[in-house]
């Protein structure tokens, strides 16, 4: 079923791509120059998405030249106000952002938020995975959730910084189990390396992070994956949370935003650029090579998703005690 659906989507994408390639519209340059604002340091996920957009747009001749600015810090909330104040009304500027920023705006209580920029498109997502050390007693997700339900404090779980997506995933799970999100014994580590080390060394009983962080350790049999958090399966033979009876879908999505105060026509031009870009073979090739999941969404659908994501995130963060 899912294979068939994927083939159809791929075929449709292929068709539109060929149509776009052969038509005169695609060869046309849409923007002579584009300013890309990355509210994170070079080398991370947001930077990667920005550079991928540059690479595919250049290859398809959609944009003449690119200019990048990286202003990192505090989940993007250091860079966000700078983009909002410096690029207001500019139709030739985009900012990269995503799920991390939604949480950071809430926990850091910054006055400038995603409400101050113009949503253009969600491009990719990365589901999370719940893992245990290879020699753990937890064989299935049910073993793990039973232990959590019985005594959440006794199950130390490692992941990224407090209030991040990993922590929110745990909070949602505890809530479904009839527990308070605050009861969880969540150990925050600075970055994927130290968290992985703590799980491999069985310092914590389980870990939550993005699939790509743990994929190689799972493949090598040093960690066991219990469930992934996406709509569909991300790892062979590992069920999703929803399949395991927990109605949670969460992922580290990344997308593109326009400057505040741009006109409807400017917004449409940016949306059209992303739609064309998304259909190019170059883009699909990059998405596949980077191991990203395609999560393309524009217009009203993206805005609805964003509103729901913000509401859900705020609710969980309030349960954990990180939002007032």
Partner 1 sequence: METLSGLAMGFGNALTLANLGWALLGCFLGTAIGVLPGLGPALTIALLLPITFSVSATGAFILFCGIFYGAMYGGSTTSILLNTPGESGSIITALEGARMAKNGRAGPALVTAAIGSFVAGTVGTLGIAFLGPVVVELALQLGPAEYFSLMVLCFVTVSAVLGGSALRGLTSLFFGLLLGLVGIDLQTGQPRLTFGIPELLDGVNVVLVAVALFAVGETLHLAWRHAEGKAEVRPVGRIWMSRGDWRRSFWPWMRGAGLGFPFGVMPAGGSEMPTMLSYYAERKLATPEAQKEFGTTGAIEGVAGPEAANNAAAAGVLVPMLTLGLPTSATAAIMLSAFQSYGIQPGPLLFTTQAELVWTLIASLFVANVMLVVLNLPLVGLWASILKIPQPQLYAGILVFATIGTYGISNSVVDLILLYGIGIVAMFMRRFDFPVAPVIIGMILGPMAEQAMRQALTISQGDWTTFVTRPVSLAILVVALLALLGPRLYGAWLRRVAA
Q: Which residues bind partner 1 (CB under 8 A)?
A: 41-43, 47-48, 51, 71-74, 77-78, 81, 107-108, 110, 153-154, 156, 161-163, 185-194, 196-198, 200-201, 203-204, 215-217, 219-220, 222, 289-291, 322
Q: Please report how close the Cβ of residue 176 comes to partner 1 at its closest, in angstroms.
A: 22
Q: Please report how close the Cβ of residue 9 comes to partner 1 at its closest, in angstroms.
A: 24
Which letter, b or e, does each residue of 294-321 get, where b requires 16 or more Cβ atoms within 10 Å of its Cβ? ebbbbeeebeebbeebbeebbbbbebbe
Q: Please report how close the Cβ of residue 120 comes to partner 1 at its closest, in angstroms.
A: 24
CA atoms within 13 A on the CB side of 28: 9
The phi and psi torsions of 147 (rounded to 5 degrees) equal -65, -40
Q: Please report how close the Cβ of residue 169 comes to partner 1 at its closest, in angstroms.
A: 15
Residue 103 near residue 164, CB atoms below 8 Å: yes
Tokens of 2: 């899912």
């Amino acid at each position: 079923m899912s294979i068939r659906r994927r083939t159809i989507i791929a075929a449709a994408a292929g068709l539109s791509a060929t149509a776009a390639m052969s038509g005169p519209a695609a060869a046309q340059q849409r923007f002579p120059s584009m300013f890309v604002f990355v509210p994170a340091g070079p080398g991370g996920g947001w930077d990667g998405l920005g550079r991928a957009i540059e690479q595919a747009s250049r290859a398809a001749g959609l944009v003449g030249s690119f200019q990048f600015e990286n202003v990192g810090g505090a989940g993007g909330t250091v860079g966000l106000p700078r983009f909002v104040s410096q690029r207001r009304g500019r139709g030739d500027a985009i900012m990269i952002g995503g799920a991390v920023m939604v949480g950071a705006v809430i926990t850091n209580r910054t006055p400038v938020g995603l409400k101050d920029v113009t949503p253009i498109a969600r491009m990719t997502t990365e589901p999370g995975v719940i893992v245990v050390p290879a020699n753990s007693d937890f064989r299935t997700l049910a073993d793990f959730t039973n232990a959590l339900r019985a005594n959440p404090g006794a199950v130390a779980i490692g992941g990224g910084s407090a209030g991040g997506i990993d922590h929110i995933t745990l909070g949602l799970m505890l809530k479904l189990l009839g527990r308070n999100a605050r009861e969880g014994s969540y150990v925050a580590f600075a970055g994927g390396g130290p968290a992985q080390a703590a799980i491999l060394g069985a310092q914590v009983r389980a870990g939550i992070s993005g699939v790509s962080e743990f994929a190689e350790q799972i493949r090598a049999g040093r960690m066991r994956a219990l469930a992934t958090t996406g709509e569909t399966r991300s790892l062979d033979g590992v069920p999703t949370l929803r399949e395991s009876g927990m109605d949670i879908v969460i992922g580290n999505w990344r997308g593109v935003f326009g400057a505040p105060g741009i006109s409807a026509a400017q917004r449409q031009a940016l949306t059209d650029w992303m739609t064309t870009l998304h259909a190019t073979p170059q883009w699909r090739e990059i998405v596949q090579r980077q191991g990203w999941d395609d999560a393309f969404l524009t217009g009203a659908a993206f805005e609805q998703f964003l509103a729901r994501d913000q509401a859900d995130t705020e609710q969980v963060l309030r349960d954990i005690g990180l939002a007032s």
